[in-house]
A and B are shown apart, each in its own frame.
Chain A
Amino acid sequence: NAGVTQTPKFQVLKTGQSMTLQCAQDMNHNSMYWYRQDPGMGLRLIYYSASEGTTDKGEVPNGYNVSRLNKREFSLRLESAAPSQTSVYFCASSERTSGNTQYFGPGTRLTVL
């Protein structure tokens, strides 16, 4: 039981490059989330998926797209990376959205030059 896994762990991009962050969970959870964590700003929700087949914007969706590929996998895509997207990205999952504990992956540390 691996919980929530994320790939890659580290990534360096140049401005304008694209990349996809991968996330998978093996807990049969319905809901999945993408957050970014910046110093002094806590966690900010980028996108979430309440259930398979649905996605919704969070607090800071600009510059990102997501795909809920199936119940297990939820990917985050940066189409044209900008230095402002330098951050640590966390994927999380929960049984459902309301009132449930979220389980987090180990994070992806992204630097955009």
Chain B
Amino acid sequence: GNSVTQMEGPVTLSEEAFLTINCTYTATGYPSLFWYVQYPGEGLQLLLKATKADDKGSNKGFEATYRKETTSFHLEKGSVQVSDSAVYFCALSGETNAGKSTFGDGTTLTVKP
């Protein structure tokens, strides 16, 4: 079945540091890939997505590229802010598995001033 493995946390960075959160997946066919973000006390919300190989999703300075050859969708941001402190989830949704989404376990990011 489908699976998503993401970098274990927690991750603690200083403001303006570079961020990478690794995500790799296992799936048949060509799933869509997502990064969701969860701020304290809230539900998940979409951060960015990519629907086919070599697509780059981007939003709020975050980027991730759909790499079919390495089955990866790593999240990056060049300069993090305190307000980026949250839990980040990598997810996929495909034609198999009845189209249900598969989520990673989440990576907690804390950015210190």
Binding site for B on A (CB under 8 A): 4, 33, 40-43, 45, 48, 50, 56, 58, 90, 92, 96-107
Contacts and interface: CB of A to CB of B under 8 A. Distances in A.
Given A40-B105, A42-B104, A97-B93, A107 B98 contact: no
A68 B82 CA distance: 40
Contacts of A101: 34, 46, 49
Main SS class of interface, B:
mixed
Contact of B98 (A40, A43, A50): A50
B99 A97 contact: yes
A99 B100 contact: no
Interface in B42-67: 42-46, 49, 51
Main SS class of interface, A:
loop
Contacts of B46: 101-103
A99 B43 contact: no
B89 interface: yes
22 contacts: A40-B105, A42-B105, A43-B103, A43-B106, A45-B100, A48-B100, A50-B98, A50-B99, A90-B44, A96-B99, A97-B99, A98-B93, A99-B31, A99-B32, A99-B93, A99-B94, A100-B32, A101-B34, A101-B46, A102-B44, A106-B42, A107-B42
